[in-house]
Structure 1
């Protein structure tokens, strides 16, 4: 049975002046803030390490819990800063254990975050933008106009919130342990496959990934961090150099004329240019393969000829091919391929030597599956987005 929980927001006027959030700040930024508070230079490195550990290792939400920091400094921190997470508007739990949170940000805009538990792992799918600018025709998020980019704090905050809700901090007890992984870590993998095109929010996403991968903090290996892009070709090599996470490509077609329709950014950077960027991705090897995502659309891109063309296209690229049964949404112009056809397609790919798992749809009943995320935030004017980013 699908469960939906509505969580009451904080009462109006509870916070009269917004405070800067320490979640998402780099160590250098934390040191600057401590300088502003008058912390002597000789103490700053130690205080930064203490704050970092309390925030990202223990998941503290209250400065008063930081008992190895002087009481006076704890008071100053509480007066000027916050460790707040995004506000939960709704929390939905699927019949298969998938959890989806609709989150409200400080300015009232909303994004969705999805947690997919399995026996030995837990994957968190996070968003990088409110809405999206790419208009991919098979994707529900693409029907929502871009509102704005998320800040580093808002990106990292999704992970913090998820860890709070599933008890993924040392000694924490989840409110509902049903279906959670059996291991100590409940979130083992993070994928940037939620709302938005992450490479159009490059700097904030890069900085968020650095915090997530920090061995003294959230400590999720870059090998377990995956960025999915629709093909922002000039940013792909830069991402490999500056972030070095795993890479996934939202491909979905083997011919430019079809991909132009399904993934309109292809008109700017066609398939040949995209695959050249993939072949040159820094660190690419059999141990660090690129994942190519391919949504199965009935009578559109699921023929055996398409399968043969796909393996030919990806020749000499260390790759894995994820076949994704199309997840329907209201008004969608496509249908999911028949299961028999998906199996025939997968057989061609497997025979060519590619791992080609068929991604089992998760969270369909709560609109949490791949391509189904969408919030109700309205488009923000460019001038407003610019003002918000300053």
Structure 2
């Protein structure tokens, strides 16, 4: 029976990590539903981007207040959870504060003291985040796409972090042996008097309860990530690595279309000649994208990485002038549709069964797509290198090349280019008449 707590701990740990691994497997499967794309170029620049943007938070701090608070939470939460290693060892082997037996007391005290200071800073920062979101009500957190779940999701994470930091400090404050060391209890020594009238047995019970809930809370938090916008905690690193390297204004061309245009402009090409063997295979099955499977896997990774922070939408000129477009909603809709497709595959034994729905139309409207000015403000604003514009352009490409469903103004422009060699409705012979006026 002495080993019962260790067995229970091992079972909880295995279940927690096992469920997380299962969700990661589903996540990878869903992302791989996207079209293949070569992102093996510019490796040194990609590593630099990941180090600067994901690890260094370089784009977060462009908005100093939110950026500073995020850095505190990010650094503090990661460093504090180093202690999870000690908790796991103690839980599996029945030891107590194994770090004290491995490290010199002064070193252990320095580490725990640092963790306690960071825990307070994280708690304060998270509280300020909650105030900004729920009391001050910053406009970007209350846009139309921020329905009940996105708003609640953000708050759930804040509450999680508050509780975990509180449990960590209470655990230290009620650990009688640790408090007697008087080393590392830089914060918990001020909390300990709150429990001063309790017996040592009750203090031990509180300490053990906080210890158990702290590790269980971390495992719950870990598994909640898959269902939350806070999946970016894990995906920001690959997303910034695979982010767009080319200049933001550079658009990708379809090779089949480019080749056809070059052939049309080459006077030496016989337009009536039979196509070369294998030429048919170069033509894509679909131009552009109407559903998530038509997007690249990098774009699907973007969707899962979206933090829903709203920086993209707050800087989108179309949104600022009252148009329906919200780059954040584009990413949220893409993720929601991808999750729906994933559940469809799970329910049909690994095969996708047509559900008569698609991303274009059922989630994202043509009004949203054509409101975009392609200015790249959204991609520049995103703190984790997400590119909503690329998804918008792929769906526009589908509308134009597959559906011939461009707006009247755009159709007129393309007709003018075809007939007059310019976007304007003037004969080529009259093009220079303006100089005579």
Bin for the TM-score computed over the shorter chain? under 0.3
TM-score, structure 1 length as denominator? 0.25
Q: Which has the higher contact order (CA 8 A, sep 6+)?
A: 2
User: If you compute each CA radius of gyration, which structure gives the higher value, 1 or 2?
Assistant: 2
TM-score (structure 2 length as normaliser) = 0.23
Which of the two has greater strand per residue?
Answer: 1
